[in-house]
Structure 1
């Protein structure tokens, strides 16, 4: 095995092609430098230099070894700085789970903010529903979730990122678009409702059921909001979706806000394990907090 000092000695001699100048460059005398090179050659089992009365020259093996030696020294010099940045959270990796609906309005802005504030933090995105996010957080498969409530407050810390209204997506020209006001749950009686999946979209399912508990005309049950909107465009019924879904721009669909709420009812939270020890996660949370401000 060879040492970093031996590599530095080898690089100095290789670049100077003179033991005396290389020793001066390293602030040492020539005999210890010569011994370093001899030990290095013995460790790797090849001659790195041709030495004669005319001077010093790299062997073919020495030329090949020089490129790798420079890389090794560059990595060795960078490693302490990287370790310090990872410890401080300014470098590293954060694995983020997100719901499909969060991509409509918030996710892109958050990622841009994180990248601007923490360019050396790698973000690994994983699309999953809230239930799978909480399991992944507990198992250590992700560091941060962008998810819907409720959460186990004993396990998870959380931060409200975003609130938005709930909209009724209807086929273009539908009579509900002519009311010129926010809709009520009563306005939806008699409408064919495209429903959220109770297993794959539980948050929206529970929210919609709380609004239209007496409604029994569910023509379809699907898990993805985009699918719901395409079904609306096809005239299959109406659907309750978050306002951010309006950016999808599906032709043949109009949106009318559903009223009757003291605050916008659709919530998105950042959630993470209370005992997380990933420094980069906490820097990301700072960036998210700044974005929210």
Structure 2
């Protein structure tokens, strides 16, 4: 059975067609090189070279073996390079969870950044509500999470850092009185049919909006609760009510929805966090985590 050293020696001789020049290229003397080629030929049971006092030529078997030797050596070099890059956190696979709302602005930005700066790291993306992401982190089913603040993140073993904030805007049906005119205020929502998050999909948003309404003395009329922000906008499009949604939703185009800025307290800006398990052993996790934070800075 030939080894990689024999394959490299044969490639040098095949390219130089001269044992002396090939030996110099490999930092060998000519005799050990000749023995290596002979051992290779005995191992394969074929002659790879035709030798004479004047020239060295490849046999048909030698030409076939040269092509395969190139392929094998290239694969070995690629494996060595990828292994080193993986150890440095520059290649590998990262499983990233994200909320639906983050897919409109934050996710495209960070994915583009990772593809440009860490092209050998593959991303597996999984859309989940924040609670599902926390369970997935705890079960090591994802490596990183783009999620909303939650008391469950206080659990030991999970690190979470603020990634970005965005304003809330008002989504209203196109024929609604608030669709035009002066900038709407929180007071304008008092008694309005209101589409909002369900406890399963948006506990963070429910608490944020309840606090906002209570502080402002406003009581919208909740007519529907859903898990995902695109479902909220679709229900506004159907004329069911109005909704307060993250500003990234401006990328959604629906024929009968108008998205308007609304005067709200500065505290009414939903926060997006980046979370991971402290004991995660994925070698490229720290590299990707730092790149995500850099992309959103």
Compute the TM-score of the two structures, normalised by the length of structure 2: 0.84
Moved over 6 A (4+): none
2-structure distance, mates of 1:52, 1:6: 18
Give unpaired runs (5+ residues) of structure 2. Answer: none
Q: Does 2:147 match 1:143? A: no
Residue 128 (structure 1) shift: 2.1
Residue 143 (structure 1) shift: 1.7
Compute the TM-score of the two structures, normalised by the length of structure 1: 0.85
- Cα distance change, pair 29–178 in 1 and its aligned pair in 2 (3 A): closer
Q: How many residues align?
A: 291
2-structure distance, mates of 1:135, 1:91: 26
Per the alignment, residue 40 of structure 2 pairs with: 40
Residue 145 (structure 1) shift: 1.0
2-structure distance, mates of 1:260, 1:168: 11
Residue pair 2:173, 2:257 contacting (<8 A) in 1 also: yes
Residue pair 2:208, 2:268 contacting (<8 A) in 1 also: no
SS at match of 1:157: strand
Residue pair 2:157, 2:278 contacting (<8 A) in 1 also: yes
SS at match of 2:7: helix
SS at match of 2:284: helix
Residue 209 (structure 1) shift: 4.5
Q: Does 2:286 match 1:291? A: no
Q: Does 2:220 match 1:219? A: no
Per the alignment, residue 199 of structure 1 pairs with: 200
Per the alignment, residue 14 of structure 2 pairs with: 14
Alignment of 1:7-156 (within 5 A): 7-43=7-43, 45-51=44-50, 53=52, 55-150=55-150, 151-156=153-158
Q: CA RMSD in A?
A: 2.8
- Cα distance change, pair 215–171 in 1 and its aligned pair in 2 (3 A): same
Residue 67 (structure 1) shift: 2.1
1-structure distance, mates of 2:84, 2:189: 58
Residue pair 1:46, 1:61 contacting (<8 A) in 2 also: no
- Cα distance change, pair 188–79 in 1 and its aligned pair in 2 (3 A): same
- After superposition, what is the alpha-carbon deviation per residue over 1:213-263, rounded to whole angstroms, capped at 9, x for unaligned? 895844333222222212212212222211111221322212344544342
Give unpaired runs (5+ residues) of structure 1. Answer: none
